[in-house]
Amino acid sequence: MLEFYLAQVVNGLIVGLIYALMAVGLSLIFSVLKIVNFAHGDCYMIGGFFSYYLATLLGFHPIAAVFVGMLGVMAVGILIHQLLLKPLYTPKVERKGEYAILMTFGIGIFLQNLAMALFGPWTKRPPDFIPGVTKLGFLFIDNNRLVVAGVGIVIMLVLLYVIGRTFIGKALRAVSQDRDAAAIVGVNPVRMNLLAFGIGVGLAGAAGALIGPVFLISPVMGILPGVKSFVIIVLGGMGSIRGAIIASILLGLVESLGSVFFLDPTRGLAYKNAFGVLLLALVLLFKPTGLFGEKFVRLE
């Protein structure tokens, strides 16, 4: 029975890493732009399709396709930001919070329907990163999941390095903490917004591209992961990158073990998505700002 629980833990960790890629991007966008990107799940979906077509039509190596797909989603993000989100920083838009919600929501619906029209509703599977299964004693782990975990960790480390160690990362953090003070020392906040949005949706795209061979792709694949990332960033504390990573792993583990320890095993999987919300409710009860949250922030 120990093997069984260990297998669940490994599975939970890997799923948690996938959540983390998504949620970190959402958190980055929130911390710098002070908006919640409701199109995040759909950027994840676009990433899945980009890398699928790069690999199948253009013959890219599946792992190369993930990175090129990520760049493609970044480009889409930059376009969205320049065309549709930039008005947020002008006095033309008065109710900025509402504008951002409606705009990103609309973009999400548009992307989903566009994908439905362009790619069709059928489920697709990108080629394997590495086919087959790795047997570690009693553990059976799909090789694709191992690749997802490995590449996910690498992307996350690069991101943490950029945010924490480089000058550009410091400028990003400065804007997230105090836009006016950052502007007064020469940092262009709009440029930082663009950068954060590009990186943020790029990460979602990378997650979608990575997940393709594991969970398959379809135009609706982003809906649930999108919702989960919202849960995660609230759980981890709005705008906290570290919080998002820890909350993701936590959610992966809770979902994996929760459906096993649930009192009525026949309903365990039916309540899978509820475990995250339960966890959220518990955390918020004792720490209303989330695990690593600072204080309530809002775009004025």
At 253, the amino acid letter reads L
Which one among 68, 216, 297, 299 touches other proteins, defined by CB under 8 A?
216
Binding mask 121-140 for other proteins (x = CB under 8 A): xxxxx--x--x-x-x----x
**Those residues with Cβ within 8 angstroms of residue 95's Cβ, 6 or more apart along the chain or in another chain:** none
- Least Å distance, CB 173 to other proteins, is 6
Distance CA 85, CA 111 (A): 16
Find the distance separating the first CA and the last CA of the chain, reported in whole Å.
Answer: 54
Which one among 90, 180, 285, 286 touches other proteins, defined by CB under 8 A?
180
Tell me how many residues contact other proteins (CB under 8 A): 64
Strand partners, 135: 140
- Least Å distance, CB 285 to other proteins, is 25
Q: Where are the alpha helices (DSSP H) in 166-188?
A: 167-177, 179-184
- The answer to whether residue 86 forms part of the interface with other proteins (CB under 8 A) is no
- Least Å distance, CB 64 to other proteins, is 21
Distance CA 10, CA 268 (A): 19
**Region binding other proteins by CB under 8 A among candidate stretches 97-105, 151-159, 254-262, 278-286:** 254-262
Give the SS3 label for residue 274. Answer: helix
Distance CA 255, CA 275 (A): 6
Nearer to other proteins, 125 or 287 (CB): 125
- The answer to whether residue 94 forms part of the interface with other proteins (CB under 8 A) is no
Question: Residue 30, Cβ neighbours under 10 Å: how many?
Answer: 24
- Distance of alpha carbon 6 from the chain centroid: 26
- The answer to whether residue 87 forms part of the interface with other proteins (CB under 8 A) is no
Cα→Cα distances 11→157, 256, 269, 284, Å: 21, 7, 15, 26
Nearer to other proteins, 15 or 73 (CB): 15
Cα→Cα distances 218→211, 215, 221, Å: 11, 10, 5
- The answer to whether residue 286 forms part of the interface with other proteins (CB under 8 A) is no
**Region binding other proteins by CB under 8 A among candidate stretches 70-78, 80-88, 154-162, 164-172:** 164-172
- Least Å distance, CB 178 to other proteins, is 6
**Those residues with Cβ within 8 angstroms of residue 109's Cβ, 6 or more apart along the chain or in another chain:** none
- The answer to whether residue 8 forms part of the interface with other proteins (CB under 8 A) is yes
Which residues of the shown chain bind other proteins in the complex (CB under 8 A)?
A: 1, 3-4, 7-8, 11-12, 15, 112-113, 116, 120-125, 128, 131, 133, 135, 140-142, 167-168, 170-171, 173-174, 177-178, 180-189, 215-216, 218-221, 223-224, 255-257, 259-260, 265-270, 272-273, 294
